[in-house]
Amino acid sequence: MSDKILICEDEENIVSFLKAELEYEGFEADVAYDGNEAMSLFTTKGSEYALVLLDIMLPEKNGLECLREIRKTSAIPVIILTARKEVYDKVAFLTAGADDYVTKPFDTMELIARIKRHIQRSGLPPKTSPLSINKDAHTAEVNNNNLSLTKTEFEILAYLHESKNKVKTRDEIITAVLGDFYGESNVIDANIKNIRAKIARHTTQQIIETVRGKGYVVRDE
């Protein structure tokens, strides 16, 4: 799906870290550093986003104002990120339509899990995979566009595609594609990055999902 996340946060160090972590997980991310910028992005690109990460203490327009504006037109999942732990704040945002409330500092793996859960539960229409692979012709297409993959890239994608819903470790991918005696697992990460870049030219849908600490998987859509 290559789900796109809108990050509304004014602390640059948090933004930088969050964006890197989300992209590592296969998401795309847009960033707004103040409430006005957040609403401008949401107004023009709202249909592209699968979820919003929203800080409370934003400049120009605060998080509660942004949330209320979002809820006028959209049921998109919204997760509040904030250092404020008062029950009053939590109740106010949940009452205004937030789907979750995460306090800083937060555990990144937990936040990613919450993001995935809310996207899955968002009630959006199920997406069908735009990927098709012809092993005989050695071609891979996304939305009828040839991906122009290298031999290794094609074999990695084809291996993951025929093992849908099964997480494959880097070592398993290496053994299947490059052979038992190829020792450098980072070659898989490099090829996955290249494959994703080629896929992203033709769809915003995430095809290859990263499962942290385990490996990669292509899921049935």
Q: Measure the CA–CA gap between 91 and 94, rounded to whole angstroms.
A: 5
Q: What is the pLDDT of residues 58-89, one digit of tens each?
A: 999 999 999 999 998 888 999 999 888 888 88
Of 120, 144, 164, which one is at a domain's C-terminal end? 120
Asked if residue 1 has pLDDT above 50, the reply is no
| CATH at 18 | 3.40.50.2300
Name which residue leads in pLDDT, 180 or 131.
131
| Alpha-helix residue ranges (DSSP H) falling in the chain | 12-24, 35-45, 63-73, 87-96, 108-120, 151-162, 170-177, 186-200
Percent of the chain topping pLDDT 90:
57
- Whether residue 212 is contained in a domain is answered as yes
User: Which range marks the domain in which residue 150 is found?
Assistant: 131-218
Q: pTM for this one?
A: 0.58
Q: Do 179 and 93 sit in the same domain of this protein?
A: no
Mean pLDDT on 2-27: 90
**What per-residue confidence (pLDDT) applies to 144?**
87
